[in-house]
């Protein structure tokens, strides 16, 4: 059976140990399976991504001993394709314009409730036209209600988890996209959202195994729904544990986790890093 996996970093900063663990886990799995490994640069958010980080990613991965197929797919080169998909979803009545600002979405919610999923509906046509004429910013949201109507098997969508989610979820998993509410598929400043670009690219690159950190386990539930709506194949998922730092917390860019470049400058070798992370 074909085996194709990928590493899909966003160039919003330098790679740190957590990325190295993820990239090596996927790369090693592709080698063990005699399969293929592709690299994808997820740079759709032009407000946060920088070319110098992309260059650093290639350099750091090569230093780690990871090799990937050419050409590298860069999502910002394909924005028109993602927009065309949003357009087909719009024609099918699966997305609607949401004009609410973040502030408006938070109004009326208890402070502990800010994560509550949002579900809404299109504005009445005359109100929508007026807001569009005014040039108000809006996001395209996927309507769970419309998706439920469009898909016969909405309640029975599953995916295979060969690794495990944060709660130990493994095996055949029932997708629960509704827990995320009506997700945003595109915004004014970020023309396409992560979930849509990921499912389209995973299908286009014929990814058979999505190997990534368990922090993205919830994303699989939403991505499964998008695959069903867009008639795309569902890869097998292998979410892996997150590497924890000496303080018992996961490595993250926001904590200024030590970058691979800093480790390299300090004389750490890729072999030593592998050993430290429990990879042989
Ligand atoms: N680009 C995402 C990130 O850097 C990963 C996407 C994925 O593996 O599905 O967190």
Structure tokens given for 46:
């032009």
pLDDT tens readout for residues 216-254:
999 999 999 999 999 999 999 999 999 887 788 887 766
pLDDT tens readout for residues 13-29:
999 999 999 999 999 99
pLDDT at 111 over 60: no
pTM of the predicted structure, to 2 decimals: 0.93
192 CA to centre of ligand 1 in angstroms? 14
Residue whose C-alpha is closest to residue 175's, from 215, 129, 227? 227
8 CA to centre of ligand 1 in angstroms? 5
pLDDT at 191 over 90: no
Pocket perturbation via mutation, ligand 1, pick of 198, 203, 221, 227 by most ligand atoms within 8 A of CB: 198
């Amino acid at each position: 059976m074909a085996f194709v996996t990928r590493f899909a970093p966003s160039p919003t900063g330098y790679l740190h140990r957590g990325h190295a663990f993820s990239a090596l886990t996927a790369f090693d799995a592709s080698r063990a399976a005699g399969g293929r490994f592709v690299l994808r640069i997820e740079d759709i958010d032009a407000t946060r991504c920088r070319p110098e980080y992309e260059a650093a990613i290639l350099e750091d991965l090569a230093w780690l001993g990871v090799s990937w197929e050419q050409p590298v797919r860069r999502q910002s080169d394909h924005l028109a394709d993602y927009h065309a998909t949003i357009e087909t979803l719009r024609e099918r009545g699966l997305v609607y314009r949401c004009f609410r600002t973040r502030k408006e979405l938070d109004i009326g919610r208890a402070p502990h409730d800010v994560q509550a999923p949002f579900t809404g509906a299109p504005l009445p046509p005359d109100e929508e036209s007026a807001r569009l004429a005014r040039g108000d910013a809006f996001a395209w949201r996927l309507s769970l209600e419309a998706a439920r109507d469009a898909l016969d098997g909405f309640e029975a969508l599953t995916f295979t988890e060969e690794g495990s989610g944060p709660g130990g979820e493994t095996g055949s998993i029932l997708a629960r996209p509704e827990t995320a509410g009506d997700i945003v598929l595109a915004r004014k400043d970020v023309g396409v959202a992560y979930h849509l670009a990921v499912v389209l690219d995973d299908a286009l690159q014929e990814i058979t195994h999505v190997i990534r950190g368990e922090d993205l386990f919830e994303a699989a539930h939403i991505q499964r729904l998008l695959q069903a709506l867009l008639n795309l194949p569902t890869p097998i998922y292998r979410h892996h544990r997150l590497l924890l730092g000496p303080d018992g917390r996961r490595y993250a860019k926001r904590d200024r986790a030590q970058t691979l470049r800093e480790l390299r400058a300090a004389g750490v070798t890729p072999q030593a890093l592998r050993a430290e992370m429990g990879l042989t």
